[in-house]
């Protein structure tokens, strides 16, 4: 019950790699579209050093 109203944030790192999943693939694999009563956000990223 404590997490009922929690927002889900998904960070998809390593997006610069050739086999990285795109946003649609990640959404599908995690089943995010089935979370009807929860807000979620997906952030694709890669870091440069």
Q: Is 16 annotated as a binding residue?
A: yes
The Cβ-side half-sphere exposure at 39, using a 13 Å CA radius, reads 3
Q: Is 29 annotated as a binding residue?
A: no
Joined together, the tokens standing for residue 12 give: 């998809």
Q: Is 14 annotated as a binding residue?
A: yes
Compute CA distances 26 → 10, 30, 40, 43, whole Å.
9, 6, 12, 10
Residues within the annotated binding site for GTP? 13-16
Residues within the annotated binding site? 13-16
């Amino acid at each position: 019950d404590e997490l009922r109203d929690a927002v889900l944030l998904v960070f998809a790192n390593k997006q610069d790699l050739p086999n990285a999943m795109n946003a649609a693939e990640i959404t599908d694999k995690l089943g995010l579209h089935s979370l009807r009563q929860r807000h979620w956000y997906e952030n694709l990223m890669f870091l440069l050093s």
